[in-house]
Amino acid sequence: MQKKFREAVDKLIGEIEVNELEKIDSAAGILADTVINGGILYTFGTGHSMSIAMEAVGKRGSLINAKMLDEHIYNLARFERLEGLGPIILQQHQLTEKDCVIVASNSGRNPLTIEIAKEARKQGAKVISISAHSVKDLLPTLESNGKYLSDYAHVAIDNHGDSTDLLVEVPNTKLKVGSPSTLTGIYIYYLILTEAVDKMINKNFQPPLIKG
């Protein structure tokens, strides 16, 4: 099963590198411009997708001006299907056109994540989403306006996962194991970050990274 999982993850990464590099380059351009212009990278995710948001903040090699939108709110996964919370969270921040937001959600169909993207965009920030676009064809959105996360993104990146977020079938059972979305989400984030750093250097701008 370990080999099957490795092969399945390799396949997903290959699909991302073939199909998403143009969008990743666009996202990197947004991030580079944000940093050069003195803006802030905000990140958001609930449940396991919070790991992707956390990866961008406060560690060696990450941007100094990077913040999580939900870092002081415990266990937001309990509220991700509650409509109306996104605007309340964004009221605590003053996003501008200089800022950008990376929002991660495998399904991209929960109201909280969708509202964060929508409200961030209303405040003028650029929105980059990371989600499984195939979910649109499989599961209805839980947001009352019928929108998905990717609908509110300036750049919508597909993690090439599916609605189960599982890769490997367990023999002789109806079970599956091995969730890829955190792995692919973090991989996509680092593709964005490293390309953004390249763009900054090419513009003779010193990337403001936390030193090790």
What tens-digit pLDDT sequence spans the chain (212 residues)? 889 999 999 999 999 999 999 999 999 999 999 999 999 999 999 888 999 999 999 999 999 999 999 755 656 667 787 788 889 889 888 899 999 999 999 999 999 999 999 999 999 999 999 999 999 999 999 999 999 999 999 999 999 999 999 999 998 898 999 999 999 999 999 999 999 999 999 999 999 999 97
pLDDT tens figures, 126-180: 999 999 999 999 999 999 999 999 999 999 999 999 999 999 999 889 899 999 9
Structural domain contains residue 210: no
Strand partners, 43: 68, 102
Has residue 42 been placed in a domain?
yes
Residue 62, domain member (yes or no): yes
Is there a domain that residue 28 lies in? yes
pTM for the model stands at 0.94
Residue 147, domain member (yes or no): yes
* Domain around 11: 2-202
- Asked whether residue 207 is assigned to any structural domain, the reply reads no
User: Would 208 be classed as within a structural domain?
Assistant: no
Instruction: Give residue 91's pLDDT.
Output: 87
Task: Give the C-alpha separation, 100 to 77, whole Å.
Answer: 23
CATH number of the structural domain spanning residue 47: 3.40.50.10490
Within-domain flag for 193: yes
- What CA–CA distances, in Å, run from 36 to 24, 26, 50, 93, 199? 18, 15, 26, 20, 10
Looking at the structure of the chain, the number of domains it has is: 1
